[in-house]
Amino acid sequence: MIVMCVDTVTAANGLTLSQEPRKTLTVPRWLYLATGGATIGASALLASFVTDRAFVRHLHTWSWPAVQSARWHQPAIWLGRGLGVAILGFALYLGTAGPELPTANFAILIAFAGVRGALPMLTYLLGNAWPVLNPWRTLARAVPSGFRDYPASLHRWPAVAGLLALVWTEVVFPVSTVPSVLANVILLYSVLTLTGAVVFGPRSWFANADPLSVLFRFYGSMSPIQRESDTLVLKLPGSDLRKSSAVTHASDVAFVVALVWELTYSGFITTEAGAGVIKGVVTALPAGFAGETVRALLAYTLLFIGGYLVFLGGYRLASHLSRRIVGTYITPESLAIQFAPPLVAIAAGYHLAHYVGLTVSLSPAMLSALTSPLSPPANPLVLSPPAWFDALGIVFVLVGHLVSIWIAHAVAFRLFSSRTVAIRSQIPFVVVMIGYTVISLWILALPGAVPPYLG
């Protein structure tokens, strides 16, 4: 099995995640982009031919009861809660007292190979276990809480700000290479999260303000395995995203777009083109304005915030164009909310493409850290995925796009009674989805590079 999945097995001497240069695509770029463009273009055309409303509804409401969970559900909850708190404790302790080698440090492996890489994959493939594993939720439930009502006007905006702050921190600070820095970030996050959960109550805080909880909730809605009452049921992947309750506010739209953008940004800055943009911005800033380090920090921040606003603005523009095309009474804001869930599929596909290689590479080290956190190996093994893993990344991006196009098609037929109007209403949103996917494919085709100024 290992021979099929790995070219070489090497001793690790470092880990740089977002600072890691990616492999350059081995197929001709023109052929790759032409094939990808034809695939995503054909997907929208084929979806428009499926106009049987009953068939579309049947696909998204189909389910098959697989396992009764009543007997083992409560023991699994207690086990998951204990495991989550134990992992948090070890991460805080070993982040400062553990080995400095990133691939041997428990905190870095769990934070990036685990929570950043593997756990989202398990979430959109098997279901959302984060409400049980969440250590801060478990700790907050153990003390008096709910001293104030969560301001309803905030909705999920704190989670949007939190997600952007976490990604920005990952990029500009050495949290993936220096364990003590990561431990300090985890400690700060713990203090802020526990304070909010105690003041406003765990239910309100983790449903609205905590970025990790909101992230896993959205990814969990993609899963083909869902829990209904005391039964685990099988559904078609992404079926629940058709529901009007999947996204309910403009803050949810902003969060979902942030999921797509942060993965795009992380991929772009690890390319030669991304490095060139950063260097160009740093050079363009006056030398007397600030030192090189400050100018580099400003360059990464401007690209991050500016790109997110472009992604969000493009999606908002699509909602206005959609309303103008069909002449509906539904407001652009409501259309933006209704058509946002399909973007979760794009984010899941790009996340899988972005992190599957890293997760496979670090799986032996992460397993070793979990089984013996206090006695890690001095020289942990890291798998080196073969070249065909690059092709898997392309497949994952395209599959995420295909699922998103279909979900948008189903949403349109839920909103509009006229088949013609339903098809026309999708066009601006499909164009935006195609744009997001093409950018992702383009980034995967670019030569890799180490992000400048972050060493």
- The token pair at 371 is 């089984």
Q: Which of 284, 259, 315 is nearest to 431 (CA)?
A: 315
Rounded-to-integer distance, Cα 340 and Cα 297, Å:
31
> pLDDT digit string (tens) for 318-345?
999 999 999 888 999 999 999 999 999 9
> pLDDT digit string (tens) for 103-133?
899 999 999 999 999 999 999 999 999 999 9
Helices (H) and strands (E) in the chain, counts: 19, 5
pLDDT at 7 over 50: no
| Separation in Å, CA 65 to CA 76, 145, 235 | 19, 37, 9
Mean pLDDT of 303-326: 96
SS3 306: helix
Q: Which of 276, 265, 307 is nearest to 172 (CA)?
A: 265
SS3 382: strand
pLDDT at 354 over 50: yes
Rounded-to-integer distance, Cα 40 and Cα 402, Å:
7
Residue 245's Cβ-count burial label (10 Å; 0-12, 13-18, 19+) is exposed
Strand runs labelled E in 88-132: none
Query: What pLDDT does 38 receive?
Result: 58
How many angstroms separate the first and last alpha carbons of the chain? 36
pLDDT at 97 over 80: yes
Query: What proportions of the chain, in percent to the nearest 5, are helix, strand and coil?
Result: 70, 5, 25
Rounded-to-integer distance, Cα 442 and Cα 438, Å:
6
DSSP single-letter state for residue 24: P
Q: Which of 199, 190, 165, 21 is nearest to 95 (CA)?
A: 190
Confidence of residue 183 (pLDDT cuts 50, 70, 90): very high
Query: What pLDDT does 406 receive?
Result: 86
Placement of tokens 């090189």 in the chain = 292
Rounded-to-integer distance, Cα 325 and Cα 342, Å:
20
Other beta carbons within 10 Å of 89: 12
Amino acid at 335: L
Query: What pLDDT does 16 receive?
Result: 44
> pLDDT digit string (tens) for 235-248?
888 888 888 788 99
Mean pLDDT of 192-198: 97
Query: What pLDDT does 1 receive?
Result: 33
Query: What pLDDT does 448 receive?
Result: 84
Mean pLDDT of 387-415: 85
- The token pair at 288 is 């007397």
Average pLDDT value over all residues in the chain = 85
DSSP single-letter state for residue 450: P
